[in-house]
Amino acid sequence: MQRYSPDEDFAPEVAEYLTVIVQVFADAEDSKPLFGGCTLYSGSSCTIPSAYVPEAEDEWYLKVFDGEELVAEGPFVIAWSDATRFDAVDGITAEAVAPADWAERCEYCYLDGLASMIMLSIDREKVIAAQPEAQFFPTFTELVSVPQSEFVDDWKLDHFKYIYGRSGLQSLTDEYQGDTIQLPVTTYSNSDDLISYVVLYEEDYAPIGYYSSVHAMTTATLAENLTPTNLWQPLGGYGDGIDPDYSDGYVEPCTEGPEICSNAQLNDLTVEGYTLYRQEFGKDTELFEYDKGTLGYTIATDRTKGAHTVTVTVDAPAYSTVNYAVNASGLVIKTGMLAAGQQTIAIDVRPGVDYKLELYVTSGDSIYYKNYQLNLNYPRTLQEGFILEINKEKAAARE
Q: Which of 158-167, 192-201, 231-240, 390-399 has the highest mean pLDDT?
A: 192-201
What percent of the chain stands above pLDDT 70?
Answer: 72
The H-assigned helical ranges of the chain are 102-105, 124-130, 157-162, 258-261, 382-398
Q: Which residues pair with 82 in a beta bridge?
A: 156
> Are 161 and 110 members of one domain?
yes
Please tell me whether residues 287 and 314 are part of one structural domain. Answer: yes
Which residues fall within 8 angstroms of residue 291, CB to CB, at 6 or more apart? 278
Amino acid 233: pLDDT: 73
Residue 388 lies in a domain: no
Q: Residues 157, 253, 264, 267: what is their CA dihedral angle, to the nearest 10 degrees?
A: -150
By residue range, what is the domain housing residue 378?
259-382
In a domain, 285, yes or no: yes
Residue 320: what pLDDT? 86
Residue 273: give its domain's CATH number. Answer: 2.60.40
**Angle subtended at Cα 164 by Cα 158 and Cα 170, rounded to the nearest 5 degrees:** 120
pTM (2 d.p.): 0.52
How many degrees, rounded to 5, is the angle at CA 62 between CA 28 and CA 40?
A: 160
- HEC string of 186-248 equals EEECCCCEEEEEEEEECCCCCEEEEEEEEECCCCCCCCCCCCCCCCECCCCCCCCCCCHHHCC
Q: Confidence band (pLDDT; 50, 70, 90) for 249? A: very low
Distance between CA atoms of 2 and 241, rounded to whole angstroms?
16
Write down which residue in 211, 246, 281 finishes a domain: 246
**Does a structural domain hold residue 362?**
yes
Last residue in a domain, options 57, 78, 99: 78
Return the higher-pLDDT residue of 145 and 192.
192
Q: Which of 93, 118, 91, 94 is nearest to 106 (CA)?
A: 118
Residues 62, 74 contacting (CB under 8 angstroms): yes
Residues 90, 74 share a domain: no
pLDDT (0 to 100) of residue 19: 59
Write the single-letter amino acid at 291. Answer: D
- Label residues 124-147 b or e (16+ Cβ within 10 Å = b): beebbebbeebbbbbbebbbbbbe
Residues 129 and 71 occupy one common structural domain: no
Q: What are phi and psi of 390, to 5 degrees?
A: -60, -45
Least confident of 23-32, 78-87, 269-278, 303-312: 78-87
User: Mean pLDDT throughout 276-281?
Assistant: 69
Whether 321 maps to a domain, the answer reads yes
Q: Is residue 392 part of a domain?
A: no
Q: What share of the chain is helix, strand, coil (3-state, %, to 5)?
A: 15, 40, 45
First to last CA, the chain: 36
Confidence of residue 287 (pLDDT cuts 50, 70, 90): low
Indicate whether 212 and 240 sit together in one domain. Answer: yes
Distance CA 269, CA 231 (A): 33
CA distance 30 to 84: 35
Which has the minimum average pLDDT: 132-146, 192-206, 320-334, 351-365? Answer: 320-334
Chain-wide mean pLDDT for the chain? Answer: 75
Residue 387 in any domain: the answer is no
> In this structure, are 322 and 353 located in the same domain?
yes
> Same structural domain for residues 264 and 362?
yes
Kindly give the pairing relationship between strand 321-328 and strand 19-25: unpaired
Reported as a single tens digit per residue, the pLDDT across 307-355 is: 888 899 999 998 888 888 888 766 667 777 787 888 888 888 888 888 8
Q: Is the pLDDT of residue 280 over 70?
A: no
Residues 310 and 357 occupy one common structural domain: yes
What's the pLDDT at 135?
A: 92
DSSP string, 137-161: E-EEEEEE-S-BSS-----BHHHHH
**Is the same domain home to 114 and 95?**
yes
pLDDT tens profile 380-398: 665 544 444 545 554 455 4
| Total residues found in the chain within this entry | 399
Q: What is the pLDDT of residue 339?
A: 78
The reported pLDDT for the residue numbered 313 is 93
Task: For residue 324, count CB atoms less than 10 angstroms from its CB and return exposed for 0-12, middle for 13-18, buried for 19 or more.
Answer: buried
pLDDT in tens, 19-70: 577 788 888 888 888 766 666 654 455 656 656 666 667 788 888 887 778 8
Residue 395 is assigned to a structural domain of this protein:
no
Structurally, the chain folds into a number of domains equal to 3
| CA-based nearest residue to 345, from 319, 370, 326, 372 | 326
pLDDT score for 10: 39
Identify whether residues 15 and 104 lie together within a single domain: no
pLDDT of the residue at 269: 92
Predicted local distance difference test score (pLDDT) of residue 387: 46
Q: Say which range, 13-17, 62-66, 231-235, has the weakest mean pLDDT.
A: 13-17
Percent of the chain with pLDDT over 90: 13
Same domain, 307 and 330: yes
Same domain, 103 and 235: yes
Q: Which of 78, 93, 123 is the last residue of a domain?
A: 78
Specify the pLDDT at position 127. 95
User: Is 391 a domain residue?
Assistant: no
